[in-house]
Amino acid sequence: MVILVKQLILEQTVIYGVVLLICAIIIIFYLRKKKVDSTIIEKKVAIAKEEGLFEPVSLHPFIDLNTCIGSAACIADCPEKDILGVVNGKATVINTSQCIGHGACFHGCPVEAISLRIGTETRGIDLPHVNEFFETNSKGVYIAGELGGMGLIKNSVEQGQQAIENIVKSKKKSIPKVIDVGIIGAGPAGISATLAAKKHGLTSVTLEQDSLGGTVYTFPRQKIVMTSPMNLPLYGKVKLYNTSKDELLQLWKKVIDKHHIEITENTKVESINLLKDNTFKIITKYNEEYICNNILLAIGRRGSPRKLNISGEESTKVAYRLLEAERINNKKIIVVGGGDSAIETVLLLKDNNSVTLSYRKDTFSRLKSKNREKINEAIKNNSIKVMFNSNLTSIHQNHVLLNTIGNSKNETISNDLVYIFAGGELPTAFLQKTGVQISKRFGYIMKTHKKVS
């Protein structure tokens, strides 16, 4: 009996020993993998810093390291690649400048260790003063979408709708023969606001300086613009994933046509003036006037395209956005710029045209990783020509003049079309003229709300 007990104890000891050994091996492998993964992320962060992608340029996640538990839920929920990673058990940002501000990481974090911020401690961002009801310091003037700091189509659509709902709740008395709300901009926020106004029985006018869709309209035809569902007024839940520009524009047109809503395109608003009765007069570049009880600004942050201010830039061969790339063939094209918009344009045109890219700096920075890979491959196989440290000096009917740093003479390049991507001018002056206060914000925490399940 004693022998059997001793044998049983020995067997149990062996079993426990094996179990402990297996646990130890698992822990060792886990810690080793964790260390390897951390080293990989640290290298990615170093590369991002070297390439100028670590510093955020817009809305971005800020991680409270004292709260973070390293669950990696934020990484799993982010539809973008290499925006976030985990180093030594704590989340960290990587290619922060490529964050598109959808807020999925914020909603995914189980311990609320992530806040969404705009600007950093050293680099401020100009932002209009907007309260939780989307109203500015100028009573009756509201802002929705990217202009207020929240990008992404879904966010803009939600804010456009919420702004209108707040206008309804404000109970500002309607005035006979005065439009309830003047909506400036027909991008995601403007379209959503227009539909919401119709839904709530408000009279409205929607003015867009370009075409329906705003910035979305300027994207390449097949560019993916939406990766999560959203609620669209008068339509309901939009259950589209990996949605292209064309699909989204067709959806908007379908809803707008169905409800007999009019969008006034190619009409730039020059000024908005407050009248004595607290209504607003909108004046367009064609001197058209609209009297409105409320104003909703959904004009985005880019404002108007920044021009080079060189001779010949007024030519019809010059454009600041690419439309219908598939229809452009056998042309000699100059693309000016070194950002993602310029690179994506070059990549779309290079197969059927002779394309030269002119960039004023000596290397690309802040490019999305896929764009960087594709443009480097295009340079390597000579499918495009890139001229770094160069500036366009004048544009002529059949050629352009281009100067490179260190050369005293301009180079003449045969040319049919010119695309300029020099960024956009922030509508700061327009906002200030309207009475909206603007401040430079450093590490400003955006007002967001956790989803309630």
Beta strands in 222-360 (DSSP E): 224-226, 230-232, 236-238, 243-244, 263-264, 269-274, 280-284, 289-297, 304-305, 318-319, 332-336, 354-358
Evaluate whether residue 83 is within a structural domain: yes
Beta strands in 57-164 (DSSP E): 60-63, 84-87, 90-93, 114-118, 125-128, 141-143
Give the pLDDT of residue 1: 64
Evaluate whether residue 444 is within a structural domain: no
Looking at the structure, tell me whether residues 388 and 280 fall in a common domain: no
Evaluate whether residue 125 is within a structural domain: no
Looking at the structure, tell me whether residues 242 and 327 fall in a common domain: no
Looking at the structure, tell me whether residues 49 and 141 fall in a common domain: no
Give the pLDDT of residue 334: 97
Looking at the structure, tell me whether residues 135 and 248 fall in a common domain: yes
Looking at the structure, tell me whether residues 143 and 102 fall in a common domain: no
Could you state, in chain order, the average pLDDT of each consecutive group of 10 residues for the chain (453 residues)?
Answer: 67 76 81 79 80 73 90 85 87 81 81 85 80 91 80 79 94 88 91 93 92 62 56 76 69 85 89 93 94 92 80 90 84 94 92 95 83 91 94 95 86 94 81 87 69 42
Evaluate whether residue 448 is within a structural domain: no
Evaluate whether residue 86 is within a structural domain: yes
> Are the CB atoms for 164 and 181 separated by under 8 Å?
yes
For residue 224, give the CATH number of its domain.
3.50.50.60
**For residue 347, which of 313, 364, 322 has the smallest C-alpha distance?**
322
Looking at the structure, tell me whether residues 341 and 325 fall in a common domain: yes
Looking at the structure, tell me whether residues 161 and 251 fall in a common domain: yes
Domain region containing 72: 2-118
Residue 207 forms beta bridges with which residues?
Answer: 184, 264
How far out from the chain centre does Cα 447 lie? 18
Total domains, the chain: 3
Distance CA 154, CA 149 (A): 13
Last residue of one domain, picked from the residues 87, 118, 149: 118
Looking at the structure, tell me whether residues 280 and 136 fall in a common domain: yes
Angle, in degrees to the nearest 10, between helices 188-199 and 153-169: 40
Evaluate whether residue 43 is within a structural domain: yes
Q: Which helix (H) or strand (E) holds 385?
A: strand 385-387
Last residue of one domain, picked from the residues 64, 84, 118: 118
Residue with tokens 């920075």: 365
Looking at the structure, tell me whether residues 338 and 273 fall in a common domain: no
Looking at the structure, tell me whether residues 189 and 252 fall in a common domain: yes
Give the pLDDT of residue 451: 47
Evaluate whether residue 341 is within a structural domain: yes
Distance CA 270, CA 200 (A): 28
Looking at the structure, tell me whether residues 149 and 257 fall in a common domain: yes
Beta pairing class for 390-395 and 385-387: unpaired
R_g (Cα) of the chain, nearest Å: 27
Looking at the structure, tell me whether residues 328 and 292 fall in a common domain: no
For residue 23, give the CATH number of its domain.
3.30.70.20
Evaluate whether residue 373 is within a structural domain: yes
